[in-house]
Structure 1
Amino acid sequence: MDKKYDFTEAEKKMQELWEKEGIYTYQNGRDKKVFSIDTPPPTVSGSLHIGHVFSYTQAEIIARYKRMQGFDVFYPFGFDDNGLPTERLVEREGNIRAGEVNPGEFYKKCLDTVKNYEEEFIDMWKSLGFSVDWNLTYQTISEKSRRISQRSFLELAKKGKAYRKESPVLWCTECRTSIAQAELDSKDTESVFYYLSFGAEPVPLIIATTRPELLYGCVCIFVNPSDERYRDYIGLSVKVPLYDFEIPVMADEGVSMEKGTGAVMCATFGDATDVEWYQKYQLPYKKVVTEEGRISADVPFIGGMGIKGARKEIIMRLKEKGLVIKEEPIIHTVGIHERCKTEIEIVPSAQWYIDITTEKEKFLKAADEINWYPQYMKNRYRIWVENLKWDWCISRQRYFGVPFPVWYCKKCHKPILAEEWQLPVNPLEDKPPHPCDCGCGDFSEVIPETAVFDTWATSSVTPFINSGFGEREDTHSEIFPMGMRSQAHEIIRTWAFYTIVKSIYHTGQIPWKDIMVSGFVLAKPGEKLSKSQNNASLSPAFLIRKHSADAIRYWAANAKLGTDTFFTEEELKISKRFLTKLYNAANFCIMHLEDYKKEGTAFLPVDRWILQRVSEAARQAQELLEHYEIGQARHVIDELFWRDFCDDYIEIVKERLYQPQKHGERERQSGQYALYHSLLGILKLYAIYTPHMTEYIYQQFFCSFEPEMSLHQTLWNTEAEDRDILEFGQRLQTVIGEVRRRKAEKQLSMKEEVEELIITAPPHMARYFESSEKDIKACTGAKKIIVRS
């Protein structure tokens, strides 16, 4: 082997080898059991950062592990390239607004943009050595994905699980679209409780509100029926300050008597509680806030103004009339859109929904059938499902997405659904399969649906896209339920939940057997790396060029599953030190294997011990990896490599390899056998973490002896456990460690001779020590060894 490993050349060569020979091509389960992976399709919304590398690499390590356990691994890669995130990327890069350019032109810009980014993403994942079958790549905007997504919608609509209604909906005024409850985040912001005087007899009611700009939308005042302060007001009317129209005072047990004054204004709509009361008591609707985030033009005093400007104006006018009793600064929690961080409004709108609130028990039961790794992540899912308030709003008022396969009759307004043979369909360009059955009989009497699916409505069917569910080449029965879903913990409430919903509704089955939930990479305590935070300055491509893919992969495998971690370039020093050690150790071993004939066996105790240790570490790592604990498994392998193999075994066997005339040729051959098989075993264990260097070493030497073309086609193998030889190895390590410790205490060279070394061991161990006398002398410098039982 080369004296020094050049990763810039070696990694590229190994990637070319894998691609040329189709090492990771899925074989359709012809000869092996299938292990299928539902990989998260990254959102095409900008460049990738080290946080993506962290979580995706952890899943890729599992793919490699399963392949080396004898599985035919179905490992696809996709791109979530439709919907709002991609639109915002195109708007940002082109300095345009989607609604202000020709829809066809904007759609084309989106397609061109995602193509460029996806090519960049694929190059980056390949440079990390991902063992993906790139023949299985998909895009959520592709014709196949649109067809499967639309087919899913039509099936749910026919079952009554997808429905359309006009009702209050969460609305982002920045993105100009409805959003689902799962896309709602919250933030604490500085605000003010304004105590306002509502006219009433005999004494005005004082109401505390943070949103005085909604006064014109007040439809009711609520008090708690147990609140004696307001018992006499229930059933009366009060006048809204400044506007002077009357609204009723009503009672509801949901009113907090401790918050504010204990009397609450209900305006359409300030928050989710207003919506609940509006629906529960069938209150009237008064429009104040528009979809553009402005005050409706017909609202006196503030019509046409922005929300915050309107708030200042209305407070000024209230103060002029002496209607502001008190101002109290507070820290107020507000709902924001997770994408753009804009404060959410609630406006009435006709939208499509999927029923999720009536089937909570089904979704909770499904979660119990799935193996969650780590287990505690299931509780996050459970809490989310148990606290769902609204059905899933799946329609978005955007442009680049999967269209609803729906038209509406101009006369009766009934929806006309597409037929499956038409899919994928674009109602803006295509005609419905038939006129409305109301009798209008005219194709011109239809209105196309202009909304598109929420991007989660498509990415929630990734298992179906992977299997071609309902397509001509349907492999659903082959890979479903999928073996594993890998994802980060913040999308449990979206991707995990929505995929379970779709799978239960369409098949009655769970979508995957296991779910592997990774943590975040943090830039600083509590702040995850993200494109929007502008805190991910070190690009993965730069880090790979500078430090190597294997160094980054080794780092990514360090954390306990599900936990967050920090990243700085300093972290990679540990990786690079390991890679240098592995290459040097392999180089030393191969130097002593140049005349190796791959014959004989290991008969000396220390040689048998190292082979047993490799086998034992493989068993321990397997147990951890079956539970997706790649970090803990790596630490088990690290201990084997650094302590047992490098620090002890190589030091013990070194003289025997160099001086066969002193130890015997047969004894040297025993060492060679152990060296060959223990190094190969260690390379196999590390192959899932650092695939390039391990493959490079295999190609330089082992492939001449082994039948497999690639290290990554070999299997982990474990021998029958020999407890005695493992115990001997531990005792021998203790002896060697004690000799080294005493020499260090006396500031002696490790090569300093020891006149006599007395070893105490149980009777059944004595023969092992006696057979190892020459090895122990060589390692410790002992002139004489006495073994006592």
Structure 2
Amino acid sequence: MLNKKYNPAESEKKWQEYWQNNDIYKYENDSDKETFSIDTPPPTISGSLHIGHIFSYTQAEIIARFQRMLGKEVFYPFGFDDNGLPTERLVEKEQNARAVSMPRSEFIDKCLLTTKKYEEEFKKLWLSMGFSVDWSLQYETINPMVRKISQKAFLDMARASKAYIKESPVLWCTTCQTSIAQAELESAEKEATFNYIPFMVDGEELIVATTRPELLYGCVCLFINPSDERYLKYIGKNAVVPLYNYEIPILSDENASLEKGTGIVMCATFGDITDVEWYEKHKLPYRKVIESNGRVADNVPLISGLTVFSAREKIIEILKSKNLLKKSEVITHTVSIHERCGKPIEIIPSKQWYIDILSERERYLEAADEINWYPASMKNRYITWVENLKWDWCISRQRYFGIPFPLWYCSKCGKVIFAKEEELPVNPLESKPSSECTCGSTTFTPETAVFDTWATSSLTPLINSKWNTEKDITKKLLPMGMRTQAHEIIRTWAFYTIVRSLFHTGQLPWKDIMVCGFVLAKKGEKISKSKNNAASSPNELIQKHSADALRYWAAGAKLGTDTMFSEDELKTSKRFLTKLWNAANFCIIQLQDYNGMLPKELMPIDSWIIEKVKILGKTAEEYLNHYEIGLAKHEIDEFFWNDFCDNYLEIVKDRLYKPEIHGKEERISAQYALYNTLLELLKLYAVYVPFITEEIYQSFYRKFEKSISIHKLQWNMKADTNNEDILSFGENIKKLIGEVRRYKSERNLSLKEKINILNISIPEKQVNYLQKTLRDIKACTWAEEIKYSISYQCDVDIK
């Protein structure tokens, strides 16, 4: 029997250790079972985990358990994205130091120590949540195997000219001191000032409005829309730049806005992405203003050496003093910011490595239709992103803690010297090419940039399958069964993984993609590690409420939708856990003398509950095959609370208690139904609340079922035939019992108050079932007498 009260703290710790010690979730590569593989997001080492991680990772973990209980061999690895800018920023914050202020090797050592600490913390949390991960498959994106795979993948792309180097305008974060990719941009509404400044054209003032007057020295052209009749006469002429007094051309372009400012647009190198497009389209000259450190270049008169913001303030003061500021107006406009630090980006020319993505845009759009998206609406986000791509993917970062590019440059002729495959992984800062350059030189300059972290994490299907190593299992795993991720990284992780997989393997990375929502700290603001805006840590919540309670809560949301979190919501979870424990305890008490005996004949209401749980299993499976964990849980909950607890247990209770009245065989029938229905319920709930279901299973079922864990069992009670008559009969009995309860409630009568006569109308083909159920009904309703008649539908009259 179970203890009177369930102790989650004791139970959860016990079963964590039991599952680990008995390899309950170990992936068997040699198994002849069908493999279901999961591409799990390696959490970025950028701070502590929060309730948002619990929410999304738990939803995916439920799918892992579900697929395992379908009898599949589940490949469920976990990794840690522990290199790149997010980790560096965390280390700088914790050490209160900047990477540039210490030797590179010293900073990398600090990064390694920090990532190890957080990885241990993350793993401990996932274990405490009962995640059914095979930890022997763990990887880190900085470890030697992953470095080798990442470098090998880059070399393959470079040799195919899919990865290339060029000097061109690049998105640049002056705060993080590195180039970034288009996918790392976010938009933010910022307050700015439109400054109206006169450019002179043939002695006449031409007023131009700009929010970036500090770029006047970088102005290379004015643009007018060819349909703007106000200014057509100026097209083809030259204008004089105020303060700096040099001439620039006035050109026409249809992308010049007629409504914005005065309708005349200043093009400077570079104020925004449109400036870059005009620079390339019209082959304009480059005039340098902003340096990579975010300060104005030394050669710029009036404002050299100042930060962008200070330069803007000073140039406005100078314009005012010379009567060159005609007016100013405050506006709110959209600016591009770096997602990692939230600061506005600049655009500066730089030599960077890119992966060509623009040339195969159509193939990437086709891929969207070849993958199953859950929910389906998320496919539109992917398509919108691909259709609006403007830049190839910049994969080089001017940082320190990352996977280095495996290459050098010949100091004599400038040729790129790639490392040999057998030498990987390599660090060009610590080694040299194994042979001389084709020009005969033996002097080389190492590449100091490192890969963008997405350039490695986009390879997770290849990392999981140990691509191009001695343990390569790509043929067995790819395409993987499912990718799980949040919706905000569709443009990065999902898209980049599709790009890399199509190139390296010629096939899609996975069949299905499960897109989870966020937990919001408040309306419109997601909980995040960087903002540290979660009220309680996951560990505190587990200790206070239990892992099963958190899991049950996380499973309730509709897939892909964001949700708010309040600890009050866990009251529902705890109420459920208590109900499950008490219902199981009741059943087990009634099964103490049951040894698996088969009844000579199943009583109708026992047949009904068994048939209902079969149908429930089928329904839940259909929902979970479409990743609708919340809808599946709702169906299971409805059955558990309504059919099983509120009705079935109440109907058979007297028969279990009093075999001398109802009959010994009738009691065995109830026991058989109890045993099997509860077991199937536990198996259904095991994917959601693994700890309490294991505790109940081990306390009673283990000695009968023999499996060492409930999580090794399968969902196998599927409805082969639909017994409509018995199902209809059960629903009719539920209806009449409900009517009796309502009758007593409306009269403020106790449910145990006797009623004189219960008149039941029932379809003719259910009369036989009713006759066999009369004693159950009398006991449940406290009816002194039951009369029944034939009718096309069930009805009840109480006297």
TM over 0.5: same fold?
yes
1:608-636 Cα shifts (integer Å, max 9, x gaps):
11111111111111110000000110000
Larger CA deviation: 392-401 vs 761-770:
761-770
Query: Take 2:696 and 2:788, find their aligned partners in 1: how far apart are those partners?
Result: 40
- Corresponding residue SS for 2:349: strand
| Amino acid in structure 2 at the alignment position of 1:611 | I
* Residues 77-125 of structure 1, C-alpha deviations (whole Å, 9 max, x = no match): 0000000000011111111111110111111111111001100100000
Classify the secondary structure of the residue corresponding to 2:267: strand
Find runs of 4+ consecutive structure 1 residues off by over 3 angstroms.
none
2:74 aligned residue: 73
1:586 aligns with 2:584: yes
CA distance in 1, matches of 2:122, 2:227: 60
- Alpha-carbon contact 2:620-2:635 (below 8 Å) kept: yes
Kindly provide the CA deviation profile for residues 231-277 of structure 1, in whole angstroms up to 9, marking residues without a partner as x.
Answer: 11111111111111111101111111111111111100000000001
Distance 2:761 2:38 in 1: 53
> Is 2:615 aligned against 1:616?
yes
CA contact (8 A) 1:29 1:72 kept: no
Deviates more, 1:318-327 or 1:457-466: 318-327
The residue type equivalent to 1:659 in the other structure is K
Q: Tell me how far 1:411 sits from its aligned partner.
A: 2.0
Q: Which residue of 1 aligns with 2:795?
A: none
1:203 is displaced (CA, Å) by 2.2
How far apart, in 2, do the equivalents of 1:427 and 1:199 lie? 53
User: How many equivalent pairs are there?
Assistant: 786
1:562 and 1:77 map into 2 onto residues whose CA distance is 21
The answer to whether the 8 Å contact 2:111/2:401 transfers is yes
1:134-181 deviation digits (Å, cap 9, x = unpaired): 000000000000000001100000111100000000000110000000
Amino acid at match of 2:505: T
Q: Which residue of 1 aligns with 2:385?
A: 384
Residues 770 and 787 of structure 1 are in contact (CA less than 8 Å); yes or no, is this contact kept in structure 2?
A: no
Query: Given residue 162 of structure 1, which amino acid in structure 2 is its aligned partner?
Result: A
Whole-angstrom CA distance in 2 between matches of 1:730 and 1:157: 67
Match of 1:690 in 2: 689
In structure 1, the partner of 2:373 is: 372
How far apart in 1 are the matches of 2:70 and 2:454? 33
CA contact (8 A) 2:87 2:115 kept: yes
Q: How does 1:276-295 map to 2 (within 5 A)?
A: 276-295=277-296
Deviates more, 1:651-660 or 1:230-239: 230-239
Q: Which stretch of the first structure deviates more once superposed, 552-561 or 25-34?
A: 25-34
Residue of structure 2 in register with 1:513 after alignment: 511
| Distance of 1:632 and 1:661 partners within structure 2 | 43
Secondary structure of residue in 1 paired with 2:485: strand
Q: For residues 714-736 of structure 1, what are the alpha-carbon distances to aligned partners after superposition, in whole Å with 9 as ceiling and x for unaligned?
A: 01121323221111111111110
Give the one of 551, 554, 558 matched to 1:560: 558
Where structure 2 has 5 or more consecutive residues not aligned to the other structure, the ranges are 791-799
Report the more deviating stretch, 257-266 or 32-41. Answer: 257-266
CA distance in 2, matches of 1:308, 1:332: 17
User: What SS does the aligned partner of 2:705 have?
Assistant: coil
**How is 1:245-644 mapped onto 2 (pairs within 5 angstroms)?**
245-437=246-438, 439=439, 441-443=440-442, 445-601=443-599, 603-644=602-643
Residue aligning to 2:794: none
On the 8 A contact 2:618/2:719 being kept in 1, the answer is no
> CA–CA distance in 1 between the matches of 2:759 and 2:415?
94
Aligned residues of 2:584 and 2:696 also touching (Cα < 8 A):
yes
What residue number does 1:20 align with? Answer: 21
Deviations 1:336-389 (A, max 9, x none): 000000100000000000000110111111111110000010000000000000
Map of 2:215 onto structure 1 = 214
Q: Which residue of 1 aligns with 2:793?
A: none
User: How far does residue 298 in structure 1 lie from its aligned partner after superposition?
Assistant: 1.1
What is the RMSD of the two structures over their aligned residues, measured on CA atoms? 0.8
* 8 Å Cα contact 2:170/2:348 also seen in 1: yes
Residue pair 1:461, 1:499 contacting (<8 A) in 2 also: yes
The answer to whether the aligner puts 1:716 opposite 2:715 as a matched pair is yes
Contact 2:187/2:336 (8 A) holds in 1: yes
Distance (whole Å) between structure 1 residues aligned to residue 139 and residue 724 of structure 2: 50
Structure 2: how far apart are the matches of 1:292 and 1:628? 47
The residue that corresponds to 1:39 in the other structure is: 40
Q: CA deviation at 1:202?
A: 4.6
The DSSP-based 3-state class of the residue aligned with 1:194 is: strand
Letter in 2 for 1:719: A
- Residue 124 of structure 1 corresponds to which residue in structure 2? 125
Which range is displaced more, 35-44 or 220-229? 220-229
Q: Deviations over 1:726-764 (max 9, x none)?
A: 111111111100110011011111011111111111111
State the SS of the aligned residue for 1:216: helix
CA positional deviation for 1:409: 1.1
How far apart in 2 are the matches of 1:495 and 1:349?
25
Q: Is the 8 A contact 2:46 2:530 kept in 1?
A: no
Match of 2:668 in 1: 669
**Separation in 2 of the partners of 1:19 and 1:787?**
58
- Residue matched to 2:652: 653
The whole-number CA distance in structure 2 between the counterparts of 1:295 and 1:359 is 38
Where do 1:49-128 residues align within 5 Å? Answer: 49-128=50-129
Contact 2:486/2:517 (<8 A) preserved: yes
**CA shift for structure 1 position 531:** 1.8
Q: What is the 5 A alignment of 1:175-214?
A: 175-214=176-215
Quote the Cα distance in structure 2 between the aligned partners of 1:531 and 1:60: 21
Separation in 1 of the partners of 2:312 and 2:7?
Answer: 64
* 1:446 Cα deviation after fit: 1.0
3-state SS of 2:186 partner: strand
2:354 and 2:394 in contact (8 A); partners too = yes
Tell me the distance in 1 between the aligned counterparts of 2:563 and 2:494.
22
Amino acid at match of 2:441: D
Q: Which residue type is aligned with residue 166 of structure 1?
A: E
Per-residue deviation, 1:29 = 4.7
Contact 1:49 1:529 in 2 (8 A): yes
- Whether the aligned pair in 2 keeps the contact of 1:608 and 1:725 (CA below 8 Å) is yes
Q: Distance in 1 between matches of 2:562 and 2:775?
A: 49
After TM superposition, give the deviation of residue 707 of structure 1 in Å: 2.4
Match of 1:740 in 2: 741
SS at match of 1:197: strand
SS of residue matched to 1:772 = helix
1-structure distance, mates of 2:354, 2:30? 38
Q: Which amino acid aligns with 1:487?
A: Q
Instruction: State the alpha-carbon separation in 1 of the partners of residues 661 and 95 from structure 2.
Output: 76
Deviation readout 1:205-230 (Å, 9 max, x if unpaired)? 11000000000000111111121211
CA distance in 2, matches of 1:539, 1:65: 27
Q: State, as a whole percentage, how many aligned pairs show the same letter.
A: 62
Q: Which amino acid aligns with 1:728?
A: F
Partner SS state of residue 130, structure 1: coil
Please list the CA deviations of residues 688-708 of structure 1 after superposition, one character each: whole Å capped at 9, or x if unmatched: 000000000000000000021
